[in-house]
Structure 1
Amino acid sequence: MAAIVGGVFTLRVDTETVSRTRWSPSPASECMAWLKLTATSGRHPVFGDPGSLARASLGHRDVALLVDLLPQDGDTYLPDLLTPQPGAGTRRRDLIDEQIARIEATTQEDLESQLFTYTQTHWSRPLSTGSRRLAESGRLQRRLANGLAQFWRVAMSDGWPELSSIIDQDISHRAKSVVGHGVGRALGELHPDIGWAGDVITLVKPWDGELDIAGRELVLVPSVLSWPDVIVQVDVPGEVVVYYPARRIGTGRDHKPGVVAQVIGSARAALLADLETARSTTELARRTGYTAGTVSYHLKALHRAGLVSKFRDGHYVLYQQTPQAVILLHGTRN
């Protein structure tokens, strides 16, 4: 386990919890992670800019309601109702529809607990008047469900098959670990910030806390767009979800940009894939057909993101993939 900075959140488990542990994708959580970056004009540390289609969707009135419930100004709490626990036995292609339906079916009691009580505890700002009025009227659930459906269609659905493939690779790896070494071994290998000690799961967080989840189901969700964060979701009664960075963020050894191109742009993905060998700006321009100025612009962005290193060799400055970029393109090899 990594050195602890800040606090530790502890989940106390028993044999029933371990026996009921399962892995699942969560399209809703990927969608909300991308929406947060879009709404804050942010750039993912690996995947970059969400793009113009995602930004255009912010003008939809129900997407705007989702944005209103995003954490701001350093706050971290996102109402759990927006990322429902993926259902057991649901077909993969139906997961997003199930999660959207669950948002719409959120009970008024759960809605008010999360929006009126938990935001007051965890946010540094009050809930907006508009969201409060819609919540009190009982109409907010449907509007939020429609907002997620809209953002999914515009900004996520086309890229989901490749994102899902990355997540499925992680789940397949965990399944093999469970078969070969047991659930405990798989839990202990999820992420450096997640520890396993037989009867407790520990998560390195900025705060301390403890929750007894004995007898309850634990759902583990590999995440791509929330990378590199580890997130725990426990505010819906009876539900415990832990999100961790997916093991593979890339499409294999064939260097196809795939999902990387969708999230950082085809030009940067192509340049990054061509930097397994150190190359100069001039050489990259010749190999890719881009102008030297365009190559230089993209290389600066990749360097800021920690995906390429640069060093001088005589009269030339050479660029090459960093270990972080290798993981992005190829996945870890263990």
Structure 2
Amino acid sequence: MLTLRVDVDTMAKTRLAPSPAAESIAWLKLTAASGRHPVFGDPGPLARASLTHPDVALLADLLPRDGDNYTPDLLTPQPGTDAQRRDVLDEQLAWIEAAGQDDIENQVFTHTRTHWSRPLGSSTRRIADSGRLQRRLANGLARFWRDTLSDGWSELRSIIDQDIAQRATAIATHGVGRMLGGLHPDIDWAGDALTLTRSLDGEIDVTGRELVLAPGVLSWPNLIIQVDTPGQFVLYYPAQRVGVARPRRPGIARVVGNARAALLVDLETARSTAELATRSGYTPGTVSYHLGALHRARLVTKVRDGRYVLYQRTADAAGLLEDA
């Protein structure tokens, strides 16, 4: 049993917020481990293609493998206080880039040595020693987000927002303590402490810290605590109604996102960026961005025809469409 000791200040500063960084890391973990989400399934070819980028690969090297469960907290900074802003992820990326070398020493060197069954990669260690790790991790997370989740974020965010609204109603009706006790079967509220059913026994004093409760969709059904970064206390709990029957996007859209799925449907015939923009209603820049991601995932080919570059879907993409 793990006990998290709180006080009046902690309770007064308890809030709920989405964490796009945590959703991205959860999806990256599945991708790197060739895993499947129990509800959303395979991360898909775009996620696997993104993993070939050196900064995304560096980020993945700091994720647990083979049954280990420690992830450095600095990869999922505590969400800011204005969770409705559109730049929540930008704020979290800035926090990653601004992480101090003390955090790198404690979380990347010391804690991985304690909690992992494998040593930290020598290349990752060299980059961390050079002081360049923070910027590259922020860039890797931003790249993975753009390649895999940005297009479908509105659907994930709607699930998160519904959960936050329901928890806020529970606080208004029954109080913070009752709401905390109802977050997960492994959580008990004892009036001055949260107790979590964990293989690790002990007590952690988090008095005075702000408690941020972040509903997890892509980390569902896991319960995750984050207390290693000084001053931060984040509890990621499974969002409601993720694992029950609910409308699902068709196969191809679920794998690549709605915009890219629409482009693939239209690429049975080879077309240029300008033609696709006219037909789809997206800007040429948006079409170009999505085509680049689809090309890296080997779902479209491109050939030059005079002044134009023509794109066409591959056999793999056609197979995905048939399965949709």
Fold shared by both chains (TM-score > 0.5): yes
Q: Deviations over 1:277-310 (max 9, x none)?
A: xxxxxxxxxxxxxxxxx9xxx9xxxxxxxxxxxx
Partner of 1:323: none
The one-letter code sitting in structure 2 at the alignment partner of 1:257 is R
Matched, 1:95 2:76: no
The one-letter code sitting in structure 1 at the alignment partner of 2:104 is L
Partner of 1:134: 127
Deviation of 1:46 after TM superposition, in Å, equals 2.1
Q: What RMSD, in angstroms, separates the aligned Cα atoms of the two structures?
A: 2.1
Conservation of the 8 A alpha-carbon contact between 2:15 and 2:212? yes
What number of residue pairs does the alignment pair up? 259
Q: Deviations over 1:118-150 (max 9, x none)?
A: 111111111111011100100010000000000
Deviation of 1:261 after TM superposition, in Å, equals 7.6
Matched, 1:109 2:102: yes
The one-letter code sitting in structure 1 at the alignment partner of 2:236 is Y
Partner of 1:177: 170
Alpha-carbon distance in 2 for matches of 1:134, 1:79 = 16
Alpha-carbon distance in 1 for matches of 2:251, 2:162 = 16
- The counterpart of 2:22, out of the listed 29, 41, 62, is 29
Structure 1: which 5+ runs fail to align?
A: 1-7, 267-293, 299-334
Partner of 2:233: 240
Matched, 1:230 2:223: yes
Q: Deviations over 1:101-123 (max 9, x none)?
A: 11111011111111111111111
Partner of 1:220: 213
Alpha-carbon distance in 2 for matches of 1:26, 1:211 = 23
Structure 2: which 5+ runs fail to align?
A: 258-318
Cα distance, 1:109–1:260 mapped onto 2, change above 3 Å: farther
Deviation of 1:259 after TM superposition, in Å, equals 9.1
Partner of 2:46: 53
The one-letter code sitting in structure 1 at the alignment partner of 2:226 is Q
Provide the TM-score with structure 2 as the length reference: 0.76
Alpha-carbon distance in 1 for matches of 2:180, 2:201 = 20
Alpha-carbon distance in 2 for matches of 1:209, 1:260 = 44
Cα distance, 1:28–1:260 mapped onto 2, change above 3 Å: farther
The one-letter code sitting in structure 1 at the alignment partner of 2:54 is R
Deviation of 1:230 after TM superposition, in Å, equals 0.4
The one-letter code sitting in structure 1 at the alignment partner of 2:201 is D
- The counterpart of 1:65, out of the listed 41, 55, 58, is 58
Deviation of 1:71 after TM superposition, in Å, equals 0.3
Conservation of the 8 A alpha-carbon contact between 1:58 and 1:64? yes
Conservation of the 8 A alpha-carbon contact between 2:45 and 2:255? no
Conservation of the 8 A alpha-carbon contact between 1:47 and 1:260? no
The one-letter code sitting in structure 2 at the alignment partner of 1:225 is L
Conservation of the 8 A alpha-carbon contact between 1:13 and 1:212? yes
Alpha-carbon distance in 2 for matches of 1:44, 1:236 = 28
Identity %: 64
Partner of 2:8: 15
Deviation of 1:256 after TM superposition, in Å, equals 3.7
Aligned pairs for 1:164-203 (under 5 A) are 164-203=157-196
Alpha-carbon distance in 2 for matches of 1:113, 1:59 = 28
Partner of 1:159: 152
The one-letter code sitting in structure 2 at the alignment partner of 1:24 is A
Deviation of 1:194 after TM superposition, in Å, equals 1.1
Cα distance, 1:262–1:172 mapped onto 2, change above 3 Å: farther
Matched, 1:122 2:115: yes
**Range with bigger deviation, 255-264 or 69-78:** 255-264
Deviation of 1:89 after TM superposition, in Å, equals 2.2
Provide the TM-score with structure 1 as the length reference: 0.74
Conservation of the 8 A alpha-carbon contact between 1:162 and 1:258? no
Conservation of the 8 A alpha-carbon contact between 1:83 and 1:99? yes
Conservation of the 8 A alpha-carbon contact between 1:170 and 1:247? yes
Alpha-carbon distance in 2 for matches of 1:108, 1:49 = 35
3-state DSSP of counterpart to 1:88 = coil
Conservation of the 8 A alpha-carbon contact between 1:163 and 1:259? no
Alpha-carbon distance in 2 for matches of 1:233, 1:152 = 21
Conservation of the 8 A alpha-carbon contact between 2:213 and 2:235? yes
The one-letter code sitting in structure 2 at the alignment partner of 1:127 is L
3-state DSSP of counterpart to 2:103 = helix
Cα distance, 1:222–1:260 mapped onto 2, change above 3 Å: farther
Alpha-carbon distance in 2 for matches of 1:259, 1:87 = 34
Alpha-carbon distance in 2 for matches of 1:162, 1:83 = 21
Conservation of the 8 A alpha-carbon contact between 2:74 and 2:99? yes
